[in-house]
């Protein structure tokens, strides 16, 4: 009997075409769970097999501390998928964060990777108890506590996420990674340890670890938004609550964002027009993440600069020859740091 493949190595374009022709609606969702996994590699292979059986697509990280996944499931398979998750002891009854805006094309294949941690945080987990986390807040309790003048709301996401959407009253650290955010936020709140500290992120996983860390650091009243922005938006709509989130919720899949409110709080990085549509530069040698309006997408042919636009028109052989000698926005700036101040019209070649 042929051993089942535990990795999908089909060409990306073929996978996209297959998804478009699938003809079945998919539901995008996310989940996480901290747990003690003795053999992450063995669990990873088992998890791949059982999820592949119900045609799950997406990206999942497995480590000794648990699992973290963003996936899509054929909607008719949702009940079977829930039973599949329940078959894993520590995932039984797990909360699934269902996407707000969903075209069903968020992922094109299933990838499950073993990592040292399910979220890179740079923390020494042996130095504090990760189970002593902050108080979880439902949407109504979040709205209530944020009316208190002694409450400070902290966005635990990266700057390119909060750039397009955030809670109205939130402090938004100018960071590129969660690892970077932890000490920055600690410094910001150093003299506010007696205040109500309310944290939020996309689906809750970053706050789960951060809340335990800050309690260990001496913060007295630590809270986190249960289920993150995704669950908040769902509860607000269901219960008819005031929506305190403005703009888009950035997501780490093909959609790159889901609208939570009508406000547009960011601008196109190329022309400055109101816009909150993230994209990756179409020049694969650059691939920088940035905000681009429809007009600039047409003018620059979905690239971030004239240099990238011109480079994309070259034959592949010429691209391969020039690529090692060239510097693009994606090789010079971090995620979302590009602000359209590098619009060369020639293909500069480094010495």
Give the domain CATH number at 193. Answer: 3.40.250.10
How many domains are there within the chain? Answer: 3
User: How many CA atoms are closer than 13 Å to the CA of 322, on its beta-carbon side?
Assistant: 21
Say if residue 203 is in the same domain as residue 285. Answer: no
**Residue 246 Cα distances to 33, 236, 242, 262, 289, angstroms:** 28, 13, 11, 7, 21
Say if residue 102 is in the same domain as residue 135. Answer: no
Say if residue 226 is in the same domain as residue 324. Answer: no
pLDDT at 126: 78
Which of 246, 276, 299 lies at the terminal end of a domain, its last residue? 246
pLDDT at 2: 42
Does 288 map to a domain?
A: yes
Say if residue 278 is in the same domain as residue 343. Answer: yes
Q: What are phi and psi of 184, to 5 degrees?
A: -65, -45
Does 8 map to a domain?
A: no
DSSP structure string for 302-340:
T-SSHHHHHHHTS-HHHHHHHGGG---HHHHS-TT---S
As given in the structure block, the two tokens for residue 223 are 């809270």
Which of 214, 246, 278 lies at the terminal end of a domain, its last residue? 246
pLDDT at 345: 44
Which of 62, 80, 114 lies at the terminal end of a domain, its last residue? 114
pLDDT at 103: 75
Say if residue 109 is in the same domain as residue 134. Answer: no
pLDDT at 17: 64
Cα three-residue angle 229-161-294, rounded to 5 degrees = 110
For the sheet containing 26-34, what is the strand order? Answer: 97-98, 26-34, 66-74, 57-63, 110-114
Strands (E), the chain: 26-34, 57-63, 66-74, 97-98, 110-114, 135-137, 151-155, 165-167, 196-200, 221-225, 245-249, 258-259, 278-280, 289-291
pLDDT at 253: 85
Q: What are phi and psi of 222, to 5 degrees?
A: -110, 130
Phi/psi zone of residue 256: left (φ > 0), alpha (ψ -120 to 50 degrees), beta? left
pLDDT at 315: 95
What's the CA gap between 251 and 5, in Å, rounded? 29
Does 59 map to a domain?
A: yes
User: Please, what is the end-to-end C-alpha distance for the chain in angstroms?
Assistant: 56
As given in the structure block, the two tokens for residue 311 are 């480079």
Say if residue 94 is in the same domain as residue 140. Answer: no
User: Is 275 one of the annotated active-site residues of the chain?
Assistant: no
Does 236 map to a domain?
A: yes
Domain range for 52: 19-114
Say if residue 103 is in the same domain as residue 135. Answer: no
Say if residue 277 is in the same domain as residue 241. Answer: no
pLDDT at 15: 57
Say if residue 40 is in the same domain as residue 100. Answer: yes
Say if residue 109 is in the same domain as residue 163. Answer: no
Does 274 map to a domain?
A: yes
As given in the structure block, the two tokens for residue 138 are 């439902």
| Mean pLDDT split into 10-residue runs, the chain, 351 residues | 54 61 84 92 96 95 94 95 96 92 82 92 81 92 96 96 96 94 94 93 92 92 95 95 97 90 95 96 95 96 95 94 92 80 45 30
Say if residue 136 is in the same domain as residue 238. Answer: yes
Cβ atoms of 178 and 155 within 8 Å: the answer is: no
Q: Is 69 helix (H, G, I), strand (E, B) or coil?
A: strand
**Strand 221-225 relative to strand 196-200: parallel, antiparallel, unpaired?**
parallel
Does 9 map to a domain?
A: no
Catalytic one of 201, 207, 275, 304: 201
3-state secondary structure 262-306: CCCCCECCCCCCECCCEEECCCCCCCCEEECCHHHHHHCCCCCCH
Composition of the chain by helix, strand, coil, percent to 5: 35, 20, 50
Cβ atoms of 101 and 258 within 8 Å: the answer is: yes
Instruction: Find the CATH number of the domain harbouring 34.
Output: 3.30.70.100
Does 280 map to a domain?
A: yes
Q: Is 267 helix (H, G, I), strand (E, B) or coil?
A: strand
Say if residue 78 is in the same domain as residue 146. Answer: no
């Amino acid at each position: 009997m042929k051993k089942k493949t535990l990795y999908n190595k089909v060409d990306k374009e073929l996978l996209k075409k297959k998804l478009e022709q699938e003809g079945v609606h998919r539901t995008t969702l996310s989940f996480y769970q901290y747990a003690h996994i003795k053999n992450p590699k063995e669990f990873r292979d088992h998890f791949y097999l059982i999820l592949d059986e119900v045609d799950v697509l997406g990206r999942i990280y497995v480590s000794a501390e648990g699992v973290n996944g963003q996936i899509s499931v054929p909607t008719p398979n949702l009940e079977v998928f829930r039973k599949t998750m329940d078959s894993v002891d520590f995932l039984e009854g797990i909360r699934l964060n269902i996407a707000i805006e969903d075209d069903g094309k968020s992922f094109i294949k299933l990838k499950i990777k073993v990592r040292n941690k399910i979220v890179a945080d740079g923390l020494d987990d042996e130095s504090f108890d990760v189970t002593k986390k902050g108080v979880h807040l439902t949407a109504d309790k979040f709205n209530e506590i944020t009316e208190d003048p002694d409450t400070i709301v902290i966005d635990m996401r990266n700057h390119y996420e909060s750039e397009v959407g955030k809670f109205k009253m939130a402090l938004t650290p100018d960071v590129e990674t969660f690892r970077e955010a932890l000490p920055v936020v600690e410094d910001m709140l150093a003299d506010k340890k007696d205040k109500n500290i309310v944290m939020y992120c996309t689906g809750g996983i970053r706050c789960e670890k951060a809340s335990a860390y800050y309690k260990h650091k001496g913060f007295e009243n630590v809270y986190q938004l249960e289920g993150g922005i995704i669950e908040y938006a769902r509860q607000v709509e269901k219960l008819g609550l005031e929506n305190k989130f403005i703009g888009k919720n950035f997501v780490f899949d093909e959609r790159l964002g889901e609208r939570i409110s009508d406000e547009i709080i960011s601008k196109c990085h190329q022309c400055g027009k109101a816009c909150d549509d993230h994209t990756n530069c179409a020049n694969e040698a650059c691939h920088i993440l940035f905000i681009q309006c429809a007009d600039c997408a047409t003018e620059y042919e979905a690239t971030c600069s004239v240099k990238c636009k011109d480079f994309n028109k070259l034959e592949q052989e010429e691209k391969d020859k020039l690529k090692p000698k060239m510097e693009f926005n994606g090789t010079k700036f971090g995620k979302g740091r590009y602000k359209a101040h590098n619009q060369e019209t020639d293909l500069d070649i480094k010495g």
